Amino acid sequence: MIGEKVISAEKLTKRFGDFTAVDHITFDVVKGEIFGFLGANGAGKTTAMRMLCGLSLPTLGSAMVAGFDVYRQNELIKKNIGYMSQKFSLYEDLTIRENIRFYAGIYGLTDDKIKEKSNLLINRLNLAGQEKSLVRSLPLGWRQKLAFLIAIVHDPAIVFLDEPTGGVDPITRREFWELIYDASSKGITVFVTTHYMDEAEYCHRVSIMVDGRIDALDSPANLMKEYASSSMDGVFLQLARKALRMSD
Amino acid sequence: MITTPVAREKVYTMSQFYIFVKKECLHIWRDRRTLFILVWMPIVQIILYGFALTNEVKNSRIAILDQSKDDATTAISNEIAASRYFNLVKNLHSYRDIDATFKQGLIRMAIVFPRNFQYDLLHSNRAQVQIIADASDPNTANTLTNYATAIINDYQLSLNNNEQLPYTIKTQLRMLYNPELKGAYNFVPGVMALVLMLVCAMMTSMAIVKEKEMGTMEVILVSPLRPFWIIIAKTIPYLLVSVLNIACILLLSVFVLGVPITGNLGLLIWESVLFTVTSLSIGILISNGAKTQQAAMFTSMMSLFLPTLLFSGFLFPVENMPVALQVISNVVPAKWYYIIVKSVMIKGLGFFAVWKETLILVGMTLILLFISISKFKIRLA
């Protein structure tokens, strides 16, 4: 891939005592790319992602995220990324508008900007008229879509999505991916982990982690050719079977 | 106009902080049930402790077995029946009745006058009266027998009024700070310690753990908000609720319970804010360890509520405890706050009387804050 690199990891490693959670991973992600970060439970995805988000310091190796060093500039990284976790991450006892206000506010958006963004976002999700109802009353699919749009409300360079579509029905997942494509076309890089292999096929490129290493990294089409499989599911199973580590 | 990057950074942090505090207030405001408990708990406790759970003895039911029925026994009986401490519910007719009446639970004390009481009193100087009390509650039994003895002594004095006894020692009693011996003087400071401890420590720890449980903490930690400010922002609303609670308790105690604030009100409020900060830092510490809201609540209950109740000195005097427990009581912050409130509010003493206790609280708070905030940071690494 050619383009401006927004994430570049070089032999990035994290050890907890004797245990090497992430083992010398090297990869680049370019601007606007949708990068799938795959791996079985316990393969080290979350640990790698935490290092890239500035939540955890690497043991070895180097990484630049949005142009900043993960060792020394993690506060700057935090300002330039968005994050949405597998766990539902909006406040159920606040209204839709209050949630947008809060998350936009802690990223330092001005009041005018927050108002403008809120209206845009509410219209995008067809939630006009409901903005004063509590998030608790929204169906799960809507909440996840809202959470995603809130995660990019401050126009970050990169958005990290940690299993964003867990427990969501197929139709809503489709809609969710439309939002992801939308963000990508606006130049926001999307770094996403998922368990759904059909979703992996939506990504521009995917990496597959096994036992803390990246064992495969290419576009879905190339990977399926290389592993002689008709789906990403087949590719993933061939690689994941090699794992020695117990999943948790 | 040129603003330096540093200055802009500061403004940025303040508005983020303000937005966070506002969000936190919304949480409390939306959870009406908890808000209701937060506001009413101190009021109910003050009223309960002030009126119902008092250790003053009033209107205790007693019985009298009068085998003499003369002027002296009648006079004493009338005095006792008229006293506000006693309520004469039964005149007994035989010794056997005494036991039966106690067993029925009808009375707490019985007074027995033997035959020829007045004759013995006036002629042989050997008059005897027996007081039998239900000592299953030792404190009450003691108090009741003291009251009864005092009434009988009064009667004896009135008999001797005209003829001065050659050698007498007259004891003069003065009850300092609380002349009417009201229980509320003791309870108000205790309830203040208890309520502030519970509201601040328990509610803050639960509020922080809730964010962990919901998964929102992760998102906030990835945001540019510094962990230190997250913690402070989460505690501010509870600090405000506590100030409201302090005001409620003080108003109630002055206007409803009749406990005056003899000392400096400003000093009292500042000491209370200090204790509130101590409690908040304990709350943060608990939230570091707890994974669920239930765990946070349970830890707060066990590690704060009971020690505060037992060791602050407001239910049981610390001086009467075994040395080991007395040593333990020193690490309970409520003990020091209780001493401060009693000194300032009830005894009307100034800062110079409580500076040592204040210093201890400040020290505890600094240590707790240091541990809890540095632990919060370690968790992020």
CATH number for the domain that contains residue B64 = 3.40.1710.10
**pLDDT above 70 as % of chain A:** 98
Same domain, B186 and B130: no
* CB-based contact, A73 to chain B, within 8 Å: no
- B69 in the same domain as B48: no
Q: Are residues B206 and B320 in the same domain?
A: yes
Q: Which residues of B201-225 are buried (b: 16+ CB within 10 A; e: fewer)?
A: bbbbbbbbbbbbbbbbbbbbbbbbb
Same domain, B198 and B331: yes
Task: For residues B246 and B137, state if they share a domain.
Answer: no
- B144 domain-assigned: yes
Burial of A41 (0-12, 13-18, 19+ CB in 10 A): exposed
Assign A246 a pLDDT band (cuts: 50, 70, 90).
low
Q: Pick from B30, B215, B381: which is nearest to A89 by CB?
A: B215
The DSSP 8-state label assigned to residue A247 in this structure reads P
Is residue B313 left, alpha or beta, with left meaning phi > 0 and alpha meaning psi from -120 to 50?
Answer: left
Q: CA-to-CA distance for A97 and A135, rounded, in angstroms?
A: 9
Chain B's closest residue to A59, CA to CA, is B381
Q: Are strands A60-65 and A68-69 parallel, antiparallel or unpaired?
A: antiparallel
Best mean pLDDT range from A31-35, A81-85, B39-43, B162-166 = A31-35
Residues B206 and B355 in one domain: yes
Best probe of the B interface among A95, A106, A118, by most B CBs < 10 A, is: A106
B130 domain-assigned: yes
Which chain B residues touch A84 with a CB distance below 8 Å?
Answer: 219
Of A53, A75, A91, the residue nearest B228 (C-alpha): A75
Question: Is residue B175 included in any domain, yes or no?
Answer: no
Query: B69 and B217, same structural domain?
Result: no
Q: Which amino acid is at B84?
A: R
Give how far B31 is from chain A: nearest CA, Å. 8
CA A179 centroid distance within chain: 13
DSSP B335-366: HHHHHHHIIIIIS---HHHHHHHHHHHHHHHH
- Residues in chain A closer than 8 A to B223 (CB atoms): 78, 83, 103, 106-107
Residue B7's pLDDT is 46
Residue B263 near residue B345 (C-beta atoms within 8 A) = yes
Say if A87 is an interface residue toward chain B (CB within 8 Å).
yes
Q: What is the mean pLDDT of residues A158-165?
A: 92
Q: What is the pLDDT of residue B53?
A: 62
For residue B3, tell me if it sits in a domain: no
Residues 6+ apart with CB under 8 A from B277: B239, B365, B369
User: What six digits make up the tokens of B121?
Assistant: 């009193």
Structural domain span for residue B150: 60-159
Contact criterion met (CB below 8 Å) for B43 and B49? no
At residue B136, the 3 state secondary structure works out as coil
pLDDT of residue A192: 95
- Could you tell me if B220 and B123 lie in one domain? no
CA of A75 vs chain B CAs: smallest distance (Å): 6
Stated as kind and residue range, the H or E segment containing B171 is none
A74 at the B interface (CB within 8 A)? no
Candidates A75, A89, A151; nearest CB to B216:
A89
**H, E, C per residue of B283-331:** HHHHHHHCCCHHHHHHHHHHHHHHHHHHHCCCCCCHHHCCHHHHHHHCC
Contact B218 A85 (CB under 8 A): yes
Residues B49 and B64 in one domain: no
* Residue B356 in domain: yes
Domain contains B366:
yes
Helix (H) or strand (E) holding A245: none
A99 contacts on B by Cβ (under 8 Å): none
Q: Could you tell me if B322 and B199 lie in one domain? A: yes
Residue B137 in contact with residue B113, Cβ under 8 Å? no
| Distance between CA atoms of residues B307 and B304, nearest Å | 5
| Rounded-to-integer distance, Cα A247 and Cα B20, Å | 38
Q: How many domains does chain B have?
A: 2
Gap between the Cα atoms of A96 and A58, Å rounded: 36
Taking the C-alpha atoms of residue B299 and residue B290, their distance in angstroms, rounded to an integer, is 8
* B236 located within any domain: yes
HSE, side-chain direction, 13 A CA sphere, residue B243: 11
Residues present in chain B in total: 381
Q: Which residues, in sequence order, are CB contacts of A231 under 8 Å at separation 6+? A: A197, A201, A224
DSSP B237-265: HHHHHHHHHHHHHHHHHHHTS-----S-H
Q: How confident is the model at residue A34 (pLDDT cuts 50, 70, 90)?
A: very high
- CB nearest A106 (choices: B30, B225, B380): B225
Question: A31: buried, middle or exposed (CB in 10 Å: 19+, 13-18, 0-12)?
Answer: middle
3-class state of residue B134 by DSSP: coil
Query: Closest partner residue to B19 among A55, A92, A106, by Cβ?
Result: A106
Provide the pairing of β-strand A5-16 with A19-30. antiparallel
Q: Are strands A189-193 and A81-84 parallel, antiparallel or unpaired?
A: unpaired
Cα distance between residue A21 and residue A44, in whole Å: 5
Distance CA A80, CA A76 (A): 7
The CB density around residue A88, as the number of other CB atoms within 10 Å, is: 18
Task: Answer yes or no: is B361 within a domain.
Answer: yes
* Cβ-Cβ contacts under 8 Å, B215 against chain A: 85-89
Same domain (yes/no): B279, B303? yes
Scored b (16 or more CB within 10 A) or e, A2-29 reads eeeebbbbeebbbeeeeebbbbebebbb
How does pLDDT run along chain B (381 residues), one tens digit per residue? 444 444 445 556 788 889 999 999 999 999 888 888 888 888 888 888 777 666 667 788 999 999 989 988 999 999 998 988 899 998 999 888 898 898 888 899 999 999 988 888 888 878 889 999 998 888 888 888 989 998 888 888 887 765 666 676 777 878 788 777 777 788 888 888 888 888 888 889 999 999 888 888 888 888 888 888 888 899 999 999 999 999 998 998 889 888 888 899 999 999 999 999 999 999 999 988 888 999 998 998 888 888 888 888 877 888 888 888 888 889 999 999 999 999 999 888 888 889 999 999 999 999 998 888 887 765 554
DSSP B51: I
Q: Cβ(B322)–Cβ(B235) under 8 Å?
A: no
Specify the pLDDT at position B196. Answer: 87
Q: Residue B1's pLDDT is what?
A: 40
3-state secondary structure of A16: strand
Q: How far apart are CA A99 and CA A105, in angstroms?
A: 10
B236 with B93, same domain? no
pLDDT of residue A42 exceeding 90, the answer is no
Inter-chain touch B26–A90, beta carbons under 8 Å: no
Counting one residue from A and one from B, how many pairs have CB atoms under 8 Å apart?
A: 76
**C-alpha–C-alpha distance, residues A61 and A52, integer Å:** 12
